């Protein structure tokens, strides 16, 4: 659906250059809700804005439905863009137009007949549950309602792809959940492919089936969200995921491990089995259960006083029982 090949973006200002993206390769399948996460300045906006050519890529190709959009000009580009909609952190609504006219705007641009506009906009208002707000102005809406208008407007041209640049970052956690659930609903109902960029892990956990981690213009890790959460490979990913508070080092004796329980193992008494089998004592430092797309992942950070050989066997035993182990200190 979307194939990004060797994409680079360099901003050149008079005498200095900023390299925002370095040789990005990504593959997004039809129907994916694909998350791209990274810290501020990682290059997220640059990446998503290259996908619809709001930014010009410096190098590389972006194939959407078999068309290399990097190579398109003027009229062809405008046609291709109808297929790629976008929503924004600050909603970008027209303050002097009503909700109805905001949503109708892309249709008026292509001179759609009034009767069709009326039908289409009413259908979209229903989809985003704002039928009663058709004639009010954006200033009279809450943030969540404004983003609903943004979403309805983005769908007016029947796109295949929806790009979301920090679309929930201005919203409170509860409203964020409602907007994410609307996006999920649209993804399922309309088969829309959604690309979400965010700095919030919660957004990725809630709805993205795949995730890429961007750092300093490079993809450092990529995969199904559940896999990346269960066994993160890069230091950056672990930092984004594990923001747990641990005891300071002077209290930690022996080995400190984080055990990740997946759907296959959350129901099993693995800890008590380890205690019995290896005749060890385990001190629990931290524990939590998270839900990634409604599937549980348990994280337990424990301290064990054992030698390296026993530790190796405990790790093998755990992994055999579908528990991933990460040794935090050696």
Ligand X SMILES: Nc1ncnc2c1ncn2[C@@H]1O[C@H](COP(=O)(O)OP(=O)(O)OP(=O)(O)O)[C@@H](O)[C@H]1O
Pick the stretch among 35-43, 63-71, 272-280, 296-304 that binds ligand X (CB under 6 A).
Answer: 35-43
Does position 11 interact with ligand X (CB under 6 A)? The reply is yes
Does position 45 interact with Mg ion (CB under 5 A)? The reply is yes
Closest to 159 in 3D by CA, of 282, 2, 330, 302: 2
Spacing of C-alpha 271 from chain mean position: 33
Pick the stretch among 44-52, 63-71, 79-87, 170-178 that binds Mg ion (CB under 5 A).
Answer: 44-52
- Residue closer to Mg ion (CB basis): 44 or 153: 44
Closest to 61 in 3D by CA, of 35, 25, 30: 25
Pick the stretch among 42-50, 115-123, 267-275, 295-303 that binds ligand X (CB under 6 A).
Answer: 42-50
Does position 18 interact with ligand X (CB under 6 A)? The reply is yes
Pick the stretch among 37-45, 118-126, 212-220, 245-253 that binds Mg ion (CB under 5 A).
Answer: 37-45
- Residue 159: name its binding partner from Mg ion, ligand X, none (Cβ under 5 to 8 Å by kind): none
Does position 44 interact with ligand X (CB under 6 A)? The reply is yes
| Among 5, 97, 177, 199, contact with ligand X (rule: CB under 6 A) | 199
C-alpha angle 69-74-76 in degrees, rounded to nearest 5 = 50
- Residue closer to ligand X (CB basis): 40 or 95: 40
Three-class DSSP category at 262: coil
CA–CA separation, 182 and 176 (whole Å):
10
Least distance from C-beta 58 to ligand X, angstroms?
A: 12
Least distance from C-beta 44 to Mg ion, angstroms?
A: 5
- Residue 279: name its binding partner from ligand X, Mg ion, none (Cβ under 5 to 8 Å by kind): none
Residues 6+ away with beta carbon under 8 Å from 240: 37, 201, 213
- Residue closer to ligand X (CB basis): 41 or 267: 41
252 to 39, 55, 68, 280: CA distances (angstroms): 30, 49, 54, 16
Determine the residue with CB nearest Mg ion. Answer: 45
160 secondary structure, DSSP code: S
Angle between helices 173-190 and 143-155 (to 10 degrees): 20
Least distance from C-beta 150 to ligand X, angstroms?
A: 18
Residues 158-197: x/- map of binding to ligand X (CB under 6 A)? ----------------------------------------
14 secondary structure, DSSP code: T
Three-class DSSP category at 100: helix
Pick the stretch among 36-44, 78-86, 218-226, 231-239 that binds ligand X (CB under 6 A).
Answer: 36-44
CA–CA separation, 65 and 87 (whole Å):
21
Residues 57-96: x/- map of binding to Mg ion (CB under 5 A)? ----------------------------------------
Does position 38 interact with ligand X (CB under 6 A)? The reply is yes
CA–CA separation, 253 and 314 (whole Å):
17
Helix ranges, the chain (H): 44-51, 74-81, 99-109, 114-127, 143-155, 173-190, 201-207, 225-230, 235-241, 270-278, 308-320
Closest to 19 in 3D by CA, of 37, 1, 36, 43: 43
Pick the stretch among 40-48, 174-182, 254-262, 318-326 that binds ligand X (CB under 6 A).
Answer: 40-48
Q: Could you give phi then psi for residue 251, rounded to 5 degrees?
A: -90, -10
153 to 10, 94, 121, 214: CA distances (angstroms): 31, 11, 9, 29
- Residue closer to Mg ion (CB basis): 38 or 106: 38
Residues that bind Mg ion (CB under 5 A): 45
User: Where does this chain bind ligand X (CB under 6 A)?
Assistant: 11, 13, 18, 20, 38, 40-46, 199
């Amino acid at each position: 659906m979307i194939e990004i090949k060797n994409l680079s973006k360099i901003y050149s200002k008079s005498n200095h250059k900023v390299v925002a993206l370095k040789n990005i390769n990504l593959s997004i399948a039809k129907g994916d809700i694909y998350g791209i996460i990274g810290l501020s300045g990682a290059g997220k906006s640059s990446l998503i804005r290259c996908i619809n050519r709001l930014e010009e890529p410096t190098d590389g190709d972006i194939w959407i439905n078999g068309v290399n959009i990097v190579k398109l000009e003027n009229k062809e580009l405008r046609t291709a863009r109808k297929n790629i909609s976008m929503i924004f952190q600050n909603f970008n609504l027209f303050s002097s137009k009503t909700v109805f006219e905001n949503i109708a705007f892309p249709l008026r641009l292509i001179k759609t007949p009034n009767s069709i506009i009326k039908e289409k906009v009413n259908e979209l208002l229903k989809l985003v549950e704002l039928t009663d707000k058709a004639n009010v102005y954006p200033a009279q809406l809450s943030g969540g309602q404004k983003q609903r208008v943004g979403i309805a407007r983005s769908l007016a041209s029947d796109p295949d792809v929806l790009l979301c640049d920090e679309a929930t970052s201005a919203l409170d956690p509860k409203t964020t959940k409602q907007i994410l659930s609307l996006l999920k609903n649209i993804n399922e109902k309309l088969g829309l492919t959604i690309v979400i960029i965010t700095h919030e892990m919660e957004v990725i956990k809630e709805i993205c089936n795949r995730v890429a981690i961007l750092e300093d213009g490079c993809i450092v890790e990529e995969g199904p969200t559940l896999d990346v959460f269960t066994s993160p490979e890069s230091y950056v990913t672990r930092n984004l995921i594990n923001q747990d508070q641990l005891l300071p080092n002077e209290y930690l004796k022996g080995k400190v491990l984080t055990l990740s329980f997946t759907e296959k193992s959350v129901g099993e008494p693995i800890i008590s089995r380890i205690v019995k089998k290896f005749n060890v004592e385990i001190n629990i430092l931290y524990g939590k259960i998270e839900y990634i797309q409604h599937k549980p992942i348990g994280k337990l950070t424990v301290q064990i006083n054992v030698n390296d050989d026993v530790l190796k066997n405990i790790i093998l035993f755990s992994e055999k029982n579908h528990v991933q182990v990460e040794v935090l200190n050696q």
